[in-house]
Structure 1
Amino acid sequence: MNYRENSKNGDKLSILGYGCLRFTKKGNNIDQEKAEKEMLYALQNGVNYFDTAYTYGGSEVALGKFLAKGYRKDVFIATKLPHYLCKSYEDFDRFFSEELERLQTDYIDYYLMHMITDLTSFNRLKELGIEKWIQDKKENGQIKNIGFSYHGGKEGFIQVIDVYDWDFCQIQYNYLDEHAQAGVEGLKYASLKGLPVIIMEPLRGGKLVFGLPEQAVNYFKKEDKSKTPAEWGLRWLWNQPEVTVVLSGMNTLEQVNENVRIASETQAGELTAKQYEMFEQVIKEIKKVEKVGCTGCGYCMPCPQGVDIPVCFRCYNTKYMDGAYKALKEYILCTTLKINPSNASKCIQCGKCEKNCPQGISIRKELKNVKKNLETPMYKIAKTIMKLRMKY
């Protein structure tokens, strides 16, 4: 296993992290016996970073049961505060205490504010007293490192990075999302600030493995028949020294074995110019099914009405690449449920954005398409359900 050092404290983190969201279920519950076999194999082969969250149904409990068998000191636990459920200062302790109990531990190595979407969402936490709460928890040793996981645009990510003295951060990043959300610009900015960067959705939940166009798969095969699309996707990430840990939601021994092998072989800077050209061809094939050719550059921003144009287009494209369910979920989370909503229906067709778009996109027209395709009757129902869930 290869490791990359957290320059802030010297922790040597395995470049492959165990994402605990996708444990195999037996009925409605996690198959504990199977999950423990897979986690043990990963641990014995050098994986030392395990990522879970309060809202990953049963995941914290499953990880806690496993680590209680004598493995706690061998790993770094990362879990997350569901800040969107917190309405008061007291809620911070209520959720944190429950997580400690679930995980059967008295401290968390890497603790994250879960799903920060922009600066406004963090400012709300500041008003509730989150900075004092974090300080107290770090001083008494219950939290070793504080960070946040991010779902939003590049500008918002940089603002969140700058507003607080974070220890690390977590972003969605892969070869298809190089310029989406925080993107490569955000990755490099965080790294320059000295922050370890944890990567989630490295293979788009499997879409960069099982959902690729045939021609895209052929480009990978032409370069090296022995490497799968999954391996190429992981190698693209680990080729970048700014990437610290890549999370993988492994739920078979075969997946664990394969990912451990790749993480033990790959090194930063190993991809050739020819192989980068291969990725460009693969991306072109994938983008042929996209509806809007938005690169996420952000030149169209800021919108006078507060529409997050790149995020709206990303979610619209997601519908045709990853399916309607994921698109709707991302759209509601990343635009509608923000304290200051940024969804497409706020557009008043002023046209200011189109003057600055390098791709010449008919932004006003496409925002109408976003509204038509994503703000459907199902959108209204899902929005109401998600609001209620966050309230209670």
Structure 2
Amino acid sequence: MLYRKMPKNTDELSILGFGCMRLASKEDGSIDEERATKQLRYAIDQGVNYVDTAWPYHMGASEPFLGRALADGYREKVKIATKLPSFLIETREDMDKYLNAQLEKLNTDHIDYYLLHSLVGDLWDSIEKLGVADFLDKAKADGRIINAGFSFHGASKDFNRIVDAYNWDFCQIQYNYLDEMNQAGKEGLKYAASKNLGVIVMEPLRGGTLTKTVPQDVEEIWNEAPKKRSPAEWALRWVWNHPEVTVVLSGMNEEAHIEENLRVAGEAHPNSLTEEELQLVKRVENKYRELMKVECTGCQYCMPCPSGVNIPVCFDLYNNLYLEDDPETVRLMYAARLGGAVGAGRGGFASLCIQCGQCLDKCPQHIDIPNILDSVVSELEGSDLEQRIAMAKEMFNGDV
């Protein structure tokens, strides 16, 4: 395992952090505690020492899970990062209420790295007026938090002013080769580093977009590389190639993925990709931009939908319609995954959307969700949807 130092406190952090937003889960969506605990502890035993969670992850179950999983001496081996749910804060008192509840959930007396969650410009302005700087100062002074930071999902124009508004220790940004110019982007990465902030990177694989379904056109570009690597390794190495990055979070929930990530995290030094390799990644980026229809990362911040739409699954399959050369199979999988043939019961079709717009303020990617759901209905539902649902049930369950 390679380590990089936090600029302000010289903590040596593993360049690979364990993200707890997409833990191993059971069929009903609940955390598979036995498997997830084994995975987390194995990663820690191999050198991972930064673990990231948040109040809403797994519908509130991630923090309590982590408190249990870090028993038996594992708490002392890691730095815990969690986040004030900024979007739920209405008063100055709320800030202490949530932090104290998180300390109890995590079964710890301090949070090593505490972030204001998912800031955009307007949200920062709101909690700043409520006294969040005073809250952070006092929580650091009394030892409940050690380092103060923020995660960011806003427009680039707001990032620098938030960096300058408080004496932060670190920040967390979305960064991958498709998002080099989105949100904080490369300019934000360099600005934060110039202010001596540690930088934690989330979504290095864009919620799996860069690895789950690799179009043939993209695979052909990767195959041109003299040194063969998986799409996940290319994506991770691209982020780690930036010396300004301290830690890269990975939502690891498959044993094989954990092994691969650990291996790469023992080799990925900054500035280690050649110019030819960087140009190859750029070509892959351009090809993805040609093919993709919606820039969803599957973060689920838009969920739950009050009308029951499974927005991330709808968008995942909608992208697959254009990333894969098999539209009929994608349409069948849409019927299967949302029609009850695969998973825990029927529900979630895009046609359930009533255009209420509640998802719009929640989406960190600023996607026009209702309008794109209309396109999903047009291209993935249709008059034969019930027939495809019946076909999927017969195929997957052996009956109708």
> What TM-score, normalized by structure 1, do the two folds share?
0.76
Aligned to 2:303: none
More displaced, 62-71 or 255-264? 62-71
In 2, the alpha carbon distance for the partners of 1:158 and 1:225 equals 38
Give the match's secondary structure for 2:51.
strand
| 1:373 correspondence with 2:371 | yes
Report 1:1-392 matches (<5 A). 1-26=1-26, 27-57=28-58, 58-118=61-121, 120-224=122-226, 226-290=228-292, 321=319, 336=361, 373-374=371-372
Structure 1 residues 150 and 320: alpha-carbon distance in aligned structure 2, compared to 1, 3 A threshold: farther
In 1, the alpha carbon distance for the partners of 2:267 and 2:51 equals 21
**TM-superposed deviation, 1:68:** 2.0
Structure 1 residues 109 and 278: alpha-carbon distance in aligned structure 2, compared to 1, 3 A threshold: same
Structure 1 residues 197 and 334: alpha-carbon distance in aligned structure 2, compared to 1, 3 A threshold: farther
In 1, the alpha carbon distance for the partners of 2:362 and 2:42 equals 39
Structure 1 residues 78 and 225: alpha-carbon distance in aligned structure 2, compared to 1, 3 A threshold: same
8 Å CA contact 1:80–1:112 kept in 2: the answer is yes
More displaced, 86-95 or 256-265? 86-95
Gaps of 5+ in 1: 293-316, 345-369, 379-392
8 Å CA contact 1:152–1:334 kept in 2: the answer is no
Matched letter for residue 126 of structure 2: R
8 Å CA contact 1:213–1:285 kept in 2: the answer is no
8 Å CA contact 1:83–1:113 kept in 2: the answer is yes
More displaced, 29-38 or 170-179? 29-38
8 Å CA contact 2:177–2:282 kept in 1: the answer is no
How many residue pairs match? The answer is: 324
In 1, the alpha carbon distance for the partners of 2:316 and 2:163 equals 26
Give the match's secondary structure for 1:69.
coil
Matched letter for residue 18 of structure 1: F
Over the matched positions of the two proteins, sequence identity in percent amounts to: 45
Give the match's secondary structure for 2:266.
helix
Give the match's secondary structure for 1:179.
coil
In 1, the alpha carbon distance for the partners of 2:21 and 2:292 equals 28
In 1, the alpha carbon distance for the partners of 2:74 and 2:129 equals 38
In 2, the alpha carbon distance for the partners of 1:28 and 1:283 equals 32
8 Å CA contact 1:154–1:181 kept in 2: the answer is yes
In 2, the alpha carbon distance for the partners of 1:114 and 1:371 equals 21
In 1, the alpha carbon distance for the partners of 2:373 and 2:47 equals 45
**TM-superposed deviation, 1:109:** 0.4
Instruction: Render the CA deviation track for 1:321-365: whole Å, top value 9, x for unaligned.
Output: 48999x99xxx7896469xxx989xxxxxxxxxxxxxxxxxxxxx
Structure 1 residues 372 and 4: alpha-carbon distance in aligned structure 2, compared to 1, 3 A threshold: closer
In 2, the alpha carbon distance for the partners of 1:291 and 1:36 equals 36
Structure 1 residues 41 and 153: alpha-carbon distance in aligned structure 2, compared to 1, 3 A threshold: same
**TM-superposed deviation, 1:374:** 4.4
**TM-superposed deviation, 1:213:** 2.2
In 2, the alpha carbon distance for the partners of 1:178 and 1:24 equals 29
In 1, the alpha carbon distance for the partners of 2:93 and 2:48 equals 35
8 Å CA contact 2:241–2:270 kept in 1: the answer is yes
Instruction: Render the CA deviation track for 1:146-172: whole Å, top value 9, x for unaligned.
Output: 111111111111121111111100011
Structure 1 residues 334 and 151: alpha-carbon distance in aligned structure 2, compared to 1, 3 A threshold: farther
Structure 1 residues 337 and 226: alpha-carbon distance in aligned structure 2, compared to 1, 3 A threshold: closer
In 2, the alpha carbon distance for the partners of 1:165 and 1:322 equals 43
In 2, the alpha carbon distance for the partners of 1:319 and 1:128 equals 41
**TM-superposed deviation, 1:226:** 3.6
In 1, the alpha carbon distance for the partners of 2:226 and 2:213 equals 19
RMSD of equivalent CA atoms: 3.1
In 2, the alpha carbon distance for the partners of 1:333 and 1:175 equals 29
Matched letter for residue 70 of structure 1: G
Matched letter for residue 176 of structure 1: L
Structure 1 residues 108 and 267: alpha-carbon distance in aligned structure 2, compared to 1, 3 A threshold: same
**TM-superposed deviation, 1:206:** 0.6
In 1, the alpha carbon distance for the partners of 2:370 and 2:148 equals 40
In 2, the alpha carbon distance for the partners of 1:275 and 1:42 equals 28
In 2, the alpha carbon distance for the partners of 1:375 and 1:36 equals 36
**TM-superposed deviation, 1:81:** 0.7
Report which of the two has the higher share of helix.
1
**TM-superposed deviation, 1:376:** 6.1
8 Å CA contact 2:293–2:319 kept in 1: the answer is no
